[in-house]
Amino acid sequence: MNIRTVCVLGMGYIGLPTASTFAMHGLQVIGVDINPEIVQTLQNGGLHIQEPGLRTLVQAALRSGNLIISNQPQEADAFIIAVPTPFYEDKKADLRAVSAAAAAIVPYLRKGNLVILESTSPPRTTTDIVAPILEQSGLKCGTDFHLAYVPERVLPGQILRELIENARVIGGVDRASAEAGRDLYRLFVRGELILTDATTAEMVKLMENTYRDVNIAIANEFARLADRFQVNIWEAIALANRHPRVNILQPGIGVGGHCISVDPWFLVEAAPDLTQLIRTARMVNDEQPAFVVDFIRRYVGDLQQLNVAVLGLSYKADVDDLRESPAITVCKLLTQAGAKVCAFEPNRVDAQVDGVTTTQTLEEALQDATLLVILVAHQTFRSLNPRELSKVMPGRLVMDAVNILDDSIWKTEGFTVLKLGNPPEKPL
């Protein structure tokens, strides 16, 4: 299929890098977003999300003239839907943005066009929801236009590299649609392009993140058992992983982000009678922030009016993404317990959390703290100097929830260090 123009709907963490990459490979690209602030920011050369190398890429794509930013679609050879798919409070998928994006394409859809859904979605979304909306154009899916599901498989912090190097699964509603999708993505993807059907591709995406979620859940459950039995979970995991067929992940404060913490629920929604393990894993990980707060309370005592400095609000290390962040949940639970929480997120100093004071600098967060809680393993936190911190922080109590501190160094400076998964023998 000869593709010269692409319209990408959704200028978020996936849509914007994808649109810019296509533009830098010679296609004419229309990047669409319904948020006027995002549109204006991008049109003015700014950026509303943080990702290494993305600013340079976007600005180069705009300067080339191959990328234009708009608030509505235009006619194109191919359309890519890359909008968010969050879930409702009952954990069911919110596909309103996907449906709205598909409907927005209808007036511009022409014979021979290719439409691709990249948004993570429950099985059969492409065939049962997107296809009927597009057919409101009067065109027949699989006959008059191609339709495929192509899940993104990138890691925040490495999106630009993985967008090009990772293998892509291309699921068409028919063989011709899958082949059309392959023709588009091979313009820049160096990884293998694997063709399948749309529902299999949807399932693959959900399986990948569910697999991770289940494995994180067992690590978190092991940490709870270690706490019960007074075992150092970090030592225990290191010893267990010496087995040639065992690779236990590290426990933590829960699971966040827009993928691993969300996608398994799409499988639970689609087949609740077959997903007992997946549901349980989700519950374990969702309950982990409460376990962290209970751990602190058990060894520190009453949290009422306790001044707590929290380091890290993003959902994982070295990114600015706060979506579904368990660190934010921990902060909110601490405030509900009566603590006064002051948080510092170096990658999003403008972050706002209800009930929590956020600061522009580490020193501001520490100045009144009795307890320091490290929730995210940012690289900058790994090099914290306890001697320097002791000059700013009045308290000498640290809770390391991500196992990045060398206890012995901190203890020589007068700090008491609590570690999730390595409980002290008795309350402090």
Catalytic status, residue 259: yes
Mean pLDDT of 34-41: 97
Separation of alpha carbons 148 and 329, rounded Å: 36
Q: Which of the residue ranges 49-53, 99-103, 409-413 has the most confident prediction, judged by mean pLDDT?
A: 99-103
What percentage of the chain has pLDDT greater than the value 90? 88
Mean pLDDT of 172-186: 98
Looking at residue 210, its pLDDT comes to 97
pLDDT band at 9 (very low <50, low <70, confident <90, very high): very high
Indicate whether 415 pLDDT > 70.
yes
Catalytic status, residue 91: no
Same domain, 145 and 292: no
Looking at residue 299, its pLDDT comes to 87
Indicate whether 274 pLDDT > 60.
yes
Q: What is the pLDDT of residues 94-124, one digit of tens each?
A: 999 999 999 999 999 999 999 999 999 999 9
Instruction: Identify whether the C-beta of residue 82 lies closer than 8 Å to the C-beta of residue 117.
Output: no
Tell me if 48 is assigned to some domain. Answer: yes
Look up residue 294 and give its two tokens.
């209970």
Tell me if 326 is assigned to some domain. Answer: yes
Indicate whether 16 pLDDT > 70.
yes
By DSSP bridging, strand 114-117 and strand 193-197 are unpaired
Looking at residue 213, its pLDDT comes to 97
Look up residue 279 and give its two tokens.
């549901």
Lowest mean pLDDT among 51-55, 239-243, 290-294, 420-424: 420-424
By DSSP bridging, strand 146-149 and strand 67-70 are unpaired
Tell me if 171 is assigned to some domain. Answer: yes
Domain containing 64 equals: 5-191
Separation of alpha carbons 428 and 424, rounded Å: 8
Look up residue 184 and give its two tokens.
């588009």
Q: Which of the residue ranges 15-19, 85-89, 423-427 has the most confident prediction, judged by mean pLDDT?
A: 15-19
Same domain, 183 and 291: no
Catalytic residue, chosen from 205, 316, 340, 419, is: 205
What is the CATH number for 330?
Answer: 3.40.50.720
Instruction: Identify whether the C-beta of residue 325 lies closer than 8 Å to the C-beta of residue 256.
Output: yes
Separation of alpha carbons 143 and 124, rounded Å: 19
Indicate whether 195 pLDDT > 90.
yes
Looking at residue 397, its pLDDT comes to 95
What is the model's pTM? 0.88
Tell me if 270 is assigned to some domain. Answer: no
Tell me if 228 is assigned to some domain. Answer: no
Name the β-bridge partners of 69. 31
Looking at residue 364, its pLDDT comes to 95
Q: What is the pLDDT of residues 239-268, one digit of tens each?
A: 999 999 999 999 999 999 878 889 999 999
Looking at residue 277, its pLDDT comes to 97
Looking at residue 425, its pLDDT comes to 61
Mean pLDDT of 314-333: 93
Same domain, 187 and 305: no
Catalytic residue, chosen from 259, 331, 340, 342, is: 259
Tell me if 214 is assigned to some domain. Answer: no
Separation of alpha carbons 36 and 70, rounded Å: 9
Mean pLDDT of 216-226: 96
Q: At what angle do helices 276-300 and 326-336 cross, to 10 degrees?
A: 50
Indicate whether 179 pLDDT > 70.
yes
Look up residue 19 and give its two tokens.
């649109």
User: Domain ends where: 172, 191, 210?
Assistant: 191
Helix, strand or coil, per DSSP, at residue 345: coil
pLDDT band at 426 (very low <50, low <70, confident <90, very high): low
Separation of alpha carbons 94 and 87, rounded Å: 5
Lowest mean pLDDT among 377-386, 397-406, 414-423: 414-423
Rg (Cα) of the chain, in Å, rounded?
24
Shortest CA distance to 224 belongs to which of 139, 316, 170, 290?
290
- What does the mean pLDDT of the chain come to? 94
Indicate whether 180 pLDDT > 80.
yes
Instruction: Identify whether the C-beta of residue 145 lies closer than 8 Å to the C-beta of residue 109.
Output: yes
Indicate whether 427 pLDDT > 60.
no
User: Domain ends where: 191, 222, 256?
Assistant: 191
**Domain count within the chain:** 2
Same domain, 313 and 173: no
Looking up tokens 């839907």 gives 81
CA atoms within 13 A on the CB side of 151: 26
Looking at residue 257, its pLDDT comes to 83
Mean pLDDT of 141-166: 93
Shortest CA distance to 269 belongs to which of 73, 395, 163, 123?
123
pLDDT band at 409 (very low <50, low <70, confident <90, very high): very high
Tell me if 209 is assigned to some domain. Answer: no
Same domain, 145 and 15: yes
